[in-house]
Structure 1
């Protein structure tokens, strides 16, 4: 259901300093209660980002989808010098597919799409299942208690990505170490994060060079072979896409898997229903994707390329805007009782994978991992429960992503 913009004019540039964003949260599994107020009273509002820059956030479902799909809100402009930044000193990669607008994005998407067909993803199911079974076997060998984060949630997506890219088994531990370091955002870890990113990029560049000389049928091989008449991916585009796949497919999926286990344990009636009716796993994963916040910010910055009115406000040319998926997925105009976790609902078109041309190209792979990981875990350990009180769980101090340090479980 859409709600018309009010007749409010442009925001007063002399208004007092906007509040800090991301907003404080009471629980890492629940979006800030501030979003509900903003959806009702001020659906587009200026905020101050961790970088000190100002930007707009939009919080209603329909407005979020508009920002995702309206070409006047540019991802490419957000990578240019002087554009508002979310984090201080963190520049976007202008060669990344997530930083491109049409027609450049259209060209890249057309070239990479063959690597993510439904048939290719379905063909990965047996391999993902073998990985999950091996990880659960290792968890079970430790007795009647284990930690889901290092036992399943962390290794599953990075192993899947390594297999997808064709990273040799001997290098996968090093590959995961680099990936882990890349996502550290505290000031004291910044140097190590940059070094890890450079090492990973260098490794990927070496893989591309090897596959140029000796073609393979793994994902990098498919991307190298991709053609659209005479068009092909450049070396930098190949490395950027592979690196982006790690960013989007590792940390995000790992956190969602661990958080999904915790949500199910928090809701024993829903967990019991899923155990009794395992065919609900598809709907359960969609509801988990809708219900669990995707991170503190809930979206990437876009920059207005002309004045645009949205949510009753005018976003001026050059101003940044963030479409907050965490808020959109709890909009009562779209879902009944949106703050209730319910695997029997049809979650519909949640915004967790974006919308429009930047809808996540790896969405089906993430769904596959979550479905197999969760279904196998609860089937293997029917008595699954938290091994410590929930209040004792430790969350990583990370301004970008809500992630658990550990998730001890018993059965």
Structure 2
């Protein structure tokens, strides 16, 4: 293990990064990587080592454990990393998780089904009967943003603002322009400080009111409250949008799988798991830093090193999956790590799966024929400093639309 992987391996892997990852993984499951540029950092590419790392208490999620120069930069410029369960170790993690965990239990989330179905149908009603649309901006992006705004109990009409903040604030604070992150963090904090003050005088039966009650019982600090709201908007929006966009693309690129799904819609939950394994919404797990000297996958990792867990690499590991480059919606078993593992398993997974199930079943039922409107090689994957894996746009051609 001598070569240091370039930053682009993380930020701009292109449409098909899996072959390069497979070659690297076959040599060693852990490699040095230049992210953030100039730092001591490691990329973990093997499924079993990624899973082991998820449960290793020596890997910290807290910004306080970063080397000083990075810690100061992150806390100065990014509201996201300073105070929510996604960037906390026990016991802080348990304290921050408790007030919201009930809201994301499968039973609680299931009650949202009729409303999510309405949102999906309303968006499809706005499609033309036939012709071209960008399925990302017309459907995949607005669906989860409307759903999470309504669930939180925040004004859906301010959706464009949230979408913009979500895009900027999901970038890595150690790589992205500090001024842009700082400006977006301040705008977000101003907006929600006002909204929280108003809602305090009008508490309701929504998630924002629950968070405010927790703040008033001193479970959260004010900054932790804002950081948690930000996490819920970003995680509840961008990842689901990617799942719908990436999944639709995979189905259009594998017409035999799409045909099977049309004739056997009960396979949709299985198809969603395969989409998440094959081209998941996040290519990498969120921030981890070695809180002490450690060894991972046979490689020594010094204290203070960044450790990046490749969810994309884990999902294509031939040690775990037969023929991992085959996209197969009937794959079973299909235990993937796309929602994380252990204490940091994604709290929003039930809501994401529910939205995916309703989105795909309704698209396939109401759009009898649709296809890519550009050659497959023209589909552009986003290159940025965030963890996510998604498309810039998804141009499709529709031919007919059935009523809701």
Distance 2:328 2:24 in 1: 24
What's the CA shift for 1:37? 2.3
Which residue of the partner structure matches residue 271 of structure 1? 258
Note if contact 2:5-2:31 (Cα within 8 Å) is conserved in structure 1.
Answer: no
Note if contact 1:304-1:319 (Cα within 8 Å) is conserved in structure 2.
Answer: yes
Which residue of the partner structure matches residue 100 of structure 1? 88
- Which secondary structure state, in structure 2, belongs to the residue aligned with residue 133 of structure 1? helix
The 5-angstrom pairing of residues 228-243 of structure 1 reads: 232-243=219-230
The 5-angstrom pairing of residues 85-164 of structure 1 reads: 93-141=81-129, 143-164=130-151
In structure 2, the CA distance between the partners of 1:79 and 1:147, relative to structure 1 (3 Å rule), is farther
What's the CA shift for 1:78? 6.2
2:247 matched to 1:290? Answer: no
Q: Deviations over 1:307-333 (max 9, x none)?
A: 222211121222221111111111111
2:31 matched to 1:48? Answer: no
Structure 2's unaligned 5+ residue stretches are: 400-404
Which residue of the partner structure matches residue 31 of structure 1? 17
What's the CA shift for 1:157? 1.1
Note if contact 1:111-1:227 (Cα within 8 Å) is conserved in structure 2.
Answer: no
In structure 2, the CA distance between the partners of 1:281 and 1:146, relative to structure 1 (3 Å rule), is same
Which residue of the partner structure matches residue 347 of structure 2? 361
What's the CA shift for 1:241? 0.7
Structure 1's unaligned 5+ residue stretches are: 1-10
- Which secondary structure state, in structure 2, belongs to the residue aligned with residue 53 of structure 1? coil
- Bigger fraction of residues in helix: 2
What's the CA shift for 1:375? 1.4
Distance 2:255 2:152 in 1: 38
What's the CA shift for 1:84? 5.8
- Which secondary structure state, in structure 1, belongs to the residue aligned with residue 82 of structure 2? coil
- Which secondary structure state, in structure 2, belongs to the residue aligned with residue 220 of structure 1? helix
In structure 2, the CA distance between the partners of 1:50 and 1:317, relative to structure 1 (3 Å rule), is closer
- Which secondary structure state, in structure 1, belongs to the residue aligned with residue 149 of structure 2? helix
Q: TM-score, normalised by structure 1?
A: 0.86
What's the CA shift for 1:252? 2.1
Q: TM-score, normalised by structure 2?
A: 0.88
Distance 2:287 2:267 in 1: 35
What's the CA shift for 1:359? 0.9
Q: Deviations over 1:250-292 (max 9, x none)?
A: 1222122111111000000100011001011101001100100
What's the CA shift for 1:361? 0.8
